[in-house]
């Protein structure tokens, strides 16, 4: 992992190659000479077929997974926060203690800040509860808050809202967009929900094939509200005739 000083991008992936070898000797060629740039301060959604390598790529960016060749450059002092589908709150700590543990060194009066944000997401009442006393959606909101309060420069969401019901999902998306407006972090959001990709992403990466290829769509929906034009572009990239596979309620 190297740092670079280009002010436009938060992540630059250059000539990246990665192959897994399964126990039976079979090779899984995730990417070969992949070049990809993630713009600073923008939300980039990533959609793509299951198994095409999205999580592996995120793991390589985050430094959890090695790669065989090439480079991944991060903006200087880039602090990364990651949220997966299943949140990882400490079960033995209360909600307040969970968040405090992550951000206690970031504020003069961290408890006051935490209370302010809990109120923002309608969870003021739960600060003394334990995670197992809350619903999955509530825990996930707390986990997102916990990450955001550590002020990461790059936030990676890997199907983070996937297990939530529709209402909670919308609330999380709104919270995420609101905080993005306020803090201007860079975000990489992997999702299987096309509507979510369009709602959140300034750029939409469409991943396909192995080794990985991708197309990028600049998402105009945020300014012109034209969902169908974006969906048409995505579907033509996938060349999908069976459109019912995707969420079309737009």
Ligand X SMILES: Nc1ncnc2c1ncn2[C@@H]1O[C@H](COP(=O)(O)OP(=O)(O)OP(=O)(O)O)[C@@H](O)[C@H]1O
Footprint of ligand X (CB under 6 A): 20, 22, 28, 30, 48, 50-56
**Tokens 């959609």, located at residue:** 47
Q: Of 27 and 181, which CB lies nearer to ligand X in the complex structure?
A: 27
Order of strands, sheet of 43-48, starting from the edge strand that comes earlier in the sequence? 80-83, 154-158, 186-190, 43-48, 203-208, 213-218
- Among residues 170, 159, 161, which one has the least CA distance to residue 249? 170
Q: Of 48 and 152, which CB lies nearer to ligand X in the complex structure?
A: 48
Least gap, CB of 94 to ligand X (angstroms):
32
Q: For residue 187, give the 3-state DSSP assignment.
A: strand
Asked if omega into 211 is within 30° of 0 (cis), the reply is yes
The distance from CA 128 to its chain's CA centroid, rounded to whole angstroms, is 28
Q: Of 46 and 138, which CB lies nearer to ligand X in the complex structure?
A: 46
Q: Of 173 and 191, which CB lies nearer to ligand X in the complex structure?
A: 191
Q: Of 19 and 203, which CB lies nearer to ligand X in the complex structure?
A: 19
Least gap, CB of 79 to ligand X (angstroms):
23
Half-sphere exposure of 52 (CA within 13 A, CB side): 18
Q: What are phi and psi of 134, to 5 degrees?
A: -115, 165
Q: For residue 157, give the 3-state DSSP assignment.
A: strand
Q: Of 61 and 149, which CB lies nearer to ligand X in the complex structure?
A: 61
- Among residues 147, 139, 149, 82, which one has the least CA distance to residue 110? 149
Least gap, CB of 61 to ligand X (angstroms):
12
Tokens for 63, please give them: 């430094």
Tokens for 149, please give them: 């309060």
Least gap, CB of 162 to ligand X (angstroms):
9
Least gap, CB of 48 to ligand X (angstroms):
6
Q: What are phi and psi of 5, to 5 degrees?
A: -115, 20
How are beta strands 43-48 and 186-190 bridged, if at all? parallel
Least gap, CB of 139 to ligand X (angstroms):
21
Q: For residue 91, give the 3-state DSSP assignment.
A: coil
Q: Of 11 and 121, which CB lies nearer to ligand X in the complex structure?
A: 11
Least gap, CB of 115 to ligand X (angstroms):
36
């Amino acid at each position: 992992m190297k740092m670079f000083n280009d002010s436009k991008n938060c992540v630059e992936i250059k000539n990246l190659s990665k192959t897994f070898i399964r126990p039976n000797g079979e090779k899984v060629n995730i990417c070969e000479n992949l070049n990809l740039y993630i713009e600073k301060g923008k939300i980039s959604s990533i959609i793509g077929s299951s198994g095409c390598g999205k999580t592996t790529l995120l793991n390589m960016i985050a430094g959890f997974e090695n790669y065989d060749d090439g480079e991944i450059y991060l903006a200087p002092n880039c602090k990364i926060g990651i949220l997966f589908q299943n949140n990882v709150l400490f079960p033995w700590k209360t909600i307040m203690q969970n968040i405090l543990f992550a951000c206690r060194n970031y504020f003069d009066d961290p408890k006051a800040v935490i209370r302010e944000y809990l109120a923002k997401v309608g969870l003021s009442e739960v600060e003394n509860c334990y995670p197992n006393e809350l619903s999955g959606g509530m825990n996930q909101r707390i986990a997102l808050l916990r990450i955001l309060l550590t002020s990461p420069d790059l936030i990676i969401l890997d199907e983070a809202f996937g297990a939530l019901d529709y209402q909670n999902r919308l609330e999380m998306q709104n919270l995420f967009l609101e905080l993005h407006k306020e803090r201007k972090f860079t975000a990489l959001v992997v999702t299987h929900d096309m509507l979510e990709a369009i709602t959140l992403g300034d750029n939409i990466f469409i991943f396909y094939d192995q080794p990985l290829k991708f197309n990028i769509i600049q998402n105009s929906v945020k300014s012109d509200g034209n969902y169908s034009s974006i969906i048409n572009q995505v579907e033509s990239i996938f060349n999908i005739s069976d459109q019912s596979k995707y969420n079309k309620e737009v």
